[in-house]
Amino acid sequence: MEPDFSKYNTHLDIKYKHLELIDIPKIVGECKHKWFNQTLTQVNESVVRVGIVEGEYHWHKHDNDDEFFFVLEGQLLIDLENMTIELNPGQGTTITKGVMHRPRAPKKTVMLMVETSAIQPTGD
């Protein structure tokens, strides 16, 4: 079954230029979506994104890109084929390119992600 991409609110545009203030609590306060992803800034060939999520994403992988997740608020569960990684505030992990994974948030979760600017967030 094909994932319903319409439930994801993904913004790949770079919202903040270098030296601009990035106010995560303000972004969280303005967010009205269950699965929101906004590129905040570019750092060399990588981007930093904020995710404000609740519920399940779909199973996917990134053939050419590693992906770093860091939880600020809430709890993120990342299902792998043989285990689940649990991330709580102040915790992060890197998912290696080519690894099938499914992020889930049992409650509203705010996280930062660092990945290449070429990554397709929904997977390859």
What does the pLDDT look like over 68-115, one tens digit per residue? 999 999 999 999 999 999 999 999 999 999 999 999 999 999 999 999
Helix H segments across the chain? 24-30
Residue 87: predicted pLDDT? 98
Please report, for the chain, the start and end positions of each structural domain, with discontinuous segments joined by +. 5-116
Residue 1: predicted pLDDT? 59
Listed residue (72, 65, 67, 63) closest to 103, CA to CA? 67
In words, the CATH class of domain 5-116 is mainly beta
Q: Considering the chain, what is the average pLDDT of its residues?
A: 93
Tell me: pLDDT of 64 over 90.
yes
- CA distances 121 to 54, 81, 89, Å, are 16, 19, 22
Tell me: pLDDT of 6 over 80.
no
- CA distances 101 to 33, 80, 97, 110, Å, are 22, 5, 10, 18
* Token representation of residue 113: 């992600």
- Biggest alpha carbon–alpha carbon distance for the chain: 43
Tell me: pLDDT of 2 over 70.
no
